[in-house]
Chains A and B, each alone.
Chain A
Amino acid sequence: MRRGVTSTRHATLLRNSRSVPHLVSRLSVLAAIAFVACAGIAIAQDGSVPPPVETPAPAAPVPPPAPPEGVTAADVGNDGGGTIAVLWTLSPDDESRDLLTGYRVLRGTDGTYVDAGTVEPGTTSFVDNGATDGNEHTYQIVAVGPGGEGTSDASAPVVASPQWFDKRRLNILIVMLVLCGAISFYIARAKAGQELYIRKIAGMDAVTEAVGRATEMGQPVLYIAGIQDLDNVQTVAGITLLGSIAKMIAEYETTLLMPTSRSLVMSTARETVKEAYLSAGRPDAYRDDSIYYVTDEQFGFVAHVDGLMLRKRPATCFYLGAFFAESLILAETGNSIGAIQIAGTAMPTQLPFFVAACDYTLIGEELFAASAYLSRDEKMLGSLKGQDFGKLIAMISIVIGGTFTTIALFTNAAPVHWVGSALHWLWHGLN
């Protein structure tokens, strides 16, 4: 029995001992499955396949960009000196940002180069404002990239120099000289006693009537010389007109009210009015307080003038100078109190408001002509005639230009284009 048991165990052991290699084989399979499963989970979680471990190959070096070519430099004309314009042809690598990221401009003086500036890729010019007048400069353009720099050949030497005449303004000089000549010619004719015809300016013809009305009504005359300072030519025109009108006011013994929005205008207006009263033989009638400063603020000034109009009710209001949005507020308030209103401005956007709300409006150039018109001085009238001559030139140019532009629609004849180019140069200059 025992033997039987022993032999059975032995047989089992023997059988088991025979199956060991088989067991190892089965465990290996299980381990492989587990590895694959774990790797699958890892891939699912990570979302990427682990890169194969490879020995990194050495990176190919980025080459420096090819240098630009054809570098030329020239002094910039019609300027105050110290400026040189540099031109070049793009580097062949200009379009590749991996190779080229910009250009450096080098200014050379006596063989030593310094940075004059940097420009973006695709640029073929640079204006150097740091050149020294009288010194010879050469220029090199350096193409800059991650792989290094490519330096061009140097340009030919160039010297910066200031100019004594700005040729781009030759056309303006010609127009100005023609106008000056015309003005001088007509002044000479007027002085020689020749009668000059001057177009009537209704607004200026009405000044005497307007000041006379204020005298009859015993009400003051209000004068506003715009809201700009004396560096504006319209304010200057308003002040020169004030001289003539103040003289009339002094002769008629009427009161003048003149609030100003600039203190410099106040000081100048006081001197002008004082001189006008003196000239009219009424220095005793002049009152410093009649011309006073209110505020520089546009609508603060308007509020004061509106209040003044409603309280003092001037019989006549003059608005002569530079005006903005306040033009209509002032003119409508003046209209509401029944004052005679004479306005004049060279602000095209405000003219319709004055035309709508005032009795008389000096349109643009009439503001500048009014003082001469009122004075009736032969020199002044001669200058007005010269101004009219300028208008004649402008009108002829417009007619010729219009005609030739129309002809150019139908023909490509060269003379037509020459005339067009000449007129364009006369009024626009060299662009």
Chain B
Amino acid sequence: MKRTIPLLITAVVGALLVFAYYVPHPAVGGINRKIPDFFNIIAAFAFVLGGGNLLRVHLTKISRRDHEWLYALVTVLGFVVMLFVGLTMFGRDEDGRLGMHPGGDLASPGLVFDWMYRAIFDPCQSTMFSLLAFFVASASYRAFRAKTPEATLLLIAAFVILVRSTPVSVLTGWIPEPFAQYLHLPNLAAWIMSVPNLAGQRTIQIGIALGIISNSLRLILGIERSHLGGKD
């Protein structure tokens, strides 16, 4: 029963959504617009569940003096303070009065919530994102080592694409037509992007589309049961 009911719900809802995709009649057609609302309602409840779980996990770490308890303390403090200033909308209003201003706009410049978002959260996000630049460099260094013929091709393609974005690309401007059409670096880079790269991307996308159809059918027909613990 524990597996049958979820399978039944999946099959009925899945089949209904597939059916509704082809049937525009109002008797059926509205279902595929209404069901996402149900998802949002469930997700809203789950959000409370997530907040509760976050507090429980980290408070447990603090109470046990786990070796990560200081991180947990920072997390809980951040959660509580942000929740407090967000719910009470504590800060200065447009007239400069300090206090709680419920019902206003959370993005008002005088609010502590807005200040915490802009002065703490935003810079932290940007810091994490900026790590990407260094990781791209280290990953490129490994990926572009010409150990195999495929890796060599990748290296050449990457070199052309990278150089295209620099002033050096004008150095091949002397190549006469009709060779310049392909060999001038900006043209060569454009060809790589619009022919082999695009062909590869489309191949992957066709595969993805077929994979999604196949996976969805397995779930709707109840063939896929791995998420329910496998075979009955």
Contact = CB atoms under 8 A, between A and B. Distances in A.
Contacts of B50: 262-263, 266, 293
Given A294-B54, A328-B139, A363-B204, A183 B226 contact: no
Interface string B25-48: 111011000001001001100110
A81 B26 contact: yes
Contacts of B215: 233, 236-237, 240, 368
Given A173-B22, A279-B229, A383 B143 contact: no
Given A247-B230, A263-B53, A293-B50, A365 B42 contact: no
Interface residues of B, number: 64
A164 B24 CA distance: 6
B226 A240 contact: yes
A356 interface: yes
A267 B49 contact: yes
Interface size class of A (residues with CB under 8 A): 35 or more
A165 B29 CA distance: 10
- Most chain B CB within a 10 A radius of its CB, from A79, A293, A297: A293
Nearest to A378: B223
Interface stretch (A10-18, A98-106, A298-306, A404-412): A298-306
Interface in A241-294: 241-244, 247, 262-264, 266-268, 271-272, 275-276, 278-279, 289, 292-294
A75 to B, nearest CB: 13
A241 B201 CA distance: 24
Contact of B25 (A162, A267, A357, A390): A162
Interface of A: 78-81, 162-166, 169, 173, 176, 179-180, 183, 187, 229-231, 233, 236-237, 239-244, 247, 262-264, 266-268, 271-272, 275-276, 278-279, 289, 292-295, 297-300, 302-303, 307, 311, 325, 328-329, 331-332, 346, 348, 351-353, 355-357, 363-369, 371-372, 374-375, 377, 379-380, 383-384, 386-387, 390-391, 394
Given A331-B139, A377-B223, 6 more contacts: A80-B25, A163-B24, A179-B214, A231-B39, A293-B54, A302-B128
